[in-house]
Amino acid sequence: MDIQAEIQALRGKLELWSHQYYDLDAPTVSDYEYDMALRELERLEGEHPELITPDSPTQRVGGQPLSQFHEVRHEVPLQSLQDLFEPGELTDFLRKVEEQSEQHRWVMEPKVDGLSVALEYLDGVFVRGATRGDGQVGEDVTENLRTVRSIPLQLKNAPHRLIVRGECYMSRAVFQKLNARREEAGEPLMANPRNAAAGSLRQLDPKIAARRRLDCIIFQALLIEGRDFPTDSETLDWLETLGFSVIDHPVCETEEEISRRIAALGEDRERYPFDIDGAVVKLDDLAQRELLGSTAKFPRWAAAWKYPPEQKETVLRDIVVQVGRTGVLTPKAVVDPVRLAGTTVTNATLHNQDFITEKDIRIGDTVLLQKAGEIIPQVVSVRKDRRPEGTEPYHLPAVCPVCGAPVRRDEDGAAFRCTGAECPAQLVRNITHFASREAMDIEGLGPAVVQQLVNVGLLSSPADLYDLDENQVAQLDGMGQKSAHNLSLALEKSKGQGMARLLTAFGIRQVGSKAAQTLSRSFPTLDALMAATAEELTAVEDIGGITAQSLTEWFAAPQSQHLIRRLREAGISFDSKEQPVGSALSGKTFVLTGTLTSYTRAQAKQLLEAQGAKVADSVSKKTSYVVAGENAGSKLTRANELGIPVLSDDELTELLRKG
């Protein structure tokens, strides 16, 4: 195959795959396969730059990050629209225009709730894209717009110069996925598709913008060189033939038709993949538009009918609490079904406890719901005058509704989180974290494999990893005998990672790898750490009261104890590998003998270990101190023989205090 044909074939394949991925939501190849083909195309194009075309998939991946956006002065200003809220206002507007115009045909378009952009083409090639800004001067966001798949990079049969105006938006489907991903990663959620689109379009790194999958729909030609159309509707039809995605633009003639269309659009909002905040009425005849002209702010020949966000009352029957993959408890209202902005609504977000408390939302209340930009309706207010007898203020449960572990409020936010070590809702995330590089570092155990293992029922706790059967693992998609064997080896190796990594792997709030290392320098084993009191924990440098509390609570939970027991049985090392520092006792070896009066043997051992000392059974030259209680026997004799210092109970207490 010659190079040109090879490049063509690769482009065809990549375009098909991205259509399947982005438009049909039905990928037929893995991301990896896509990336490899793209890289191959980049390589070929790199060797033959003369064969690069502006519509090649390589041109959409997003160029270098910018340090700032440049200003663009719009050749044709991007005007705003006058708003209409009342039927009377619509009547007045139509009458005024029709009095001055010979043509009485109107284009009706949905008003897309996104961001206005101007796209410029030279000889059919997309050369510049800018935001609206103040209408006169906007920002050059060409690189980001290049990544938008519904913006053609090359037009068919285009005039020499063309500038079109459209609305950039994030579809509701993409928005939902984006937020689901953010929720999973514990990142703050985007308020609505419009904000998400605005944020994405103003990303300085086009690669991030590319991942956000924006769309763009065209509603106006601002400048066409060498072509004249009598009407807007014909212009839009023609733009469609060039390859643009063009807004719906039926033509209406009477006020009655216009009103019907406005009502229908309002009812039909859900039919569109984007949010609509109005209906735009524009005179179709372009020559008449010229004659009418504009005010300082908006054209006289167009107006936007604004839909108020629809609100409906319904009864809140229940509050259900969901546990997300990061353990956050999210309360959701279950309401009596009600039609709202085109869909039947049965539940509403309640955000968090603060939201519920502030509005004093109770089960049994009549509430007012609204969808404003957001897809899921919100509770706007409570009809306290209709509150039934016997309702009570609502509080999130103190234990996780999924696993029963204690729930804790984040120190730095409104979220309440389940602390369960084996909580099924957080399982995939917890196990993936357990295996991650900074934790137990189990190679080959990424989220996809963990998800599969959970799905087939082989994992319900991190401890199950150590019971995995190699043959069963080999059956998984994309695994095979060799990978399964490698995973076994990696698991075996992880058993010896030691206390700091194990502690990190538990994912206890406030205890990341740094705190885990600090702790494992102060406590020789996990058991010593578990036995430590809050005072002993806070005595460690950099460990504050909140961390100490988080640790003690976590260790006290039955789920945690169960996990620790199983890990111990699996032969996981609980010993610190870190060099003890700080304590005068760290690294010293003690032998206890006789009956101590101030402590039991076990207590003395724990206290010593908590300060980094070791406790041995027999006296040798390596012994640092022997602690002798009443009726000390042969160990004391041996200590004296070897000249090892002998301490009384009191001296030990003193040493521990100083240490």
Does the annotation mark 207 as catalytic? no
Q: How far is the CB of 277 from ligand AMP (least distance, A)?
A: 8
Q: Which of residues 67-86 bind ligand AMP (CB under 6 A)?
A: 80-81
Which residue, 143 or 167, is less far from ligand AMP as judged by CB? 167
3-state SS class at 532 = coil
Nearest Cα neighbor of 212 from 190, 185, 184 is: 190
Please report, for residues 443, 477, 483, the alpha-carbon distance to residue 460 in angstroms, rounded to integers and kept in the order given: 19, 19, 21
Question: One symbol per residue from 285 to 324: x for binding ligand AMP (CB under 6 A), - otherwise; what is it?
Answer: -------------------x--------------------
By the rule CB under 6 A, 608 interacts with ligand AMP: no
Does 219 bind ligand AMP (CB under 6 A)? Our answer is yes
HEC string of 189-245?
A: CCCCHHHHHHHHHCCCCHHHHHHCCCEEEEEEEEEECCCCCCEHHHHHHHHHHHCCC
Dihedral pair phi/psi, residue 647, rounded to 5°:
-115, 145
Residues 325-384 that bind ligand AMP (CB under 6 A): none
Q: Which of 13, 111, 384, 493 is the catalytic position?
A: 111
CB of 169 to ligand AMP, least distance (A): 9
Any residues with CB less than 8 A from the CB of 322 and at least 6 apart, and which?
Answer: 329, 330, 332, 425
- Which span sits near ligand AMP by CB under 6 A: 109-117, 286-294, 560-568, 618-626? 109-117
Q: Does residue 280 interact with ligand AMP by CB under 6 A?
A: yes
In three-state secondary structure terms, 42 is helix
- Residues in binding contact with ligand AMP, number by CB under 6 A: 12
Q: How far is CA 88 from the centre of its chain?
A: 45
Site string for ligand AMP, 402-441 (x = CB under 6 A): ----------------------------------------
Q: Are 547 and 515 in contact, with CB atoms under 8 Å apart?
A: yes
Nearer to ligand AMP, 110 or 124 (CB): 110
What is the rounded CA–CA span in Å between residue 151 and residue 192?
22
Task: Output the DSSP codes for 486-509.
Answer: HHHHHHHHHTTS-HHHHHHHTT-T
Q: Which is nearer to ligand AMP, 93 or 590 (CB)?
A: 93
Instruction: Tell me: does residue 170 bind ligand AMP (CB under 6 A).
Output: no
Signed CA dihedral, 109, 111, 114, 119: sign only: positive
216 binds ligand AMP (CB under 6 A): no
- Phi then psi for 622, rounded to 5 degrees? -80, -10
Q: Which stretch binds ligand AMP (CB under 6 A): 110-118, 381-389, 464-472, 629-637?
A: 110-118
Task: State yes or no: residue 262 binds ligand AMP (CB under 6 A).
Answer: no
Among 41, 72, 109, 255, binds ligand AMP (CB under 6 A): 109
Position closest to ligand AMP via CB: 116
Q: How far is the CB of 308 from ligand AMP (least distance, A)?
A: 14
**Least distance between ligand AMP and beta carbon 117 (Å):** 8
In this complex, which beta carbon is closest to ligand AMP, that of residue 109 or of residue 536? 109
Quick count: other Cβ atoms within 10 Å of Cβ 383? 12
Closer of 85 and 492 to ligand AMP (Cβ): 85
Using CA atoms, how far apart are residues 570 and 461, in angstroms rounded to an integer? Answer: 13
CB of residue 312 vs ligand AMP: minimum separation in angstroms?
25
Give the C-alpha separation, 105 to 232, whole Å: 10
**Count of beta carbons in the 10 Å neighbourhood of residue 565:** 11
Using CB under 6 A as the binding rule, whether residue 258 contacts ligand AMP is answered as no
Number of other residues whose CB lies within 10 A of the CB of residue 403:
20
Contact between 574 and ligand AMP by CB under 6 A: the answer reads: no
Using the rule CB under 6 A, is 284 a contact of ligand AMP?
no
Match 């006169």 to its residue by tokens. Answer: 136
Least distance to ligand AMP, CB of residue 289, Å: 13
| Interacting residues with ligand AMP (CB under 6 A) | 80-81, 109, 111-112, 116, 132, 167, 219, 247, 280, 304
Residues identified as active-site: 111
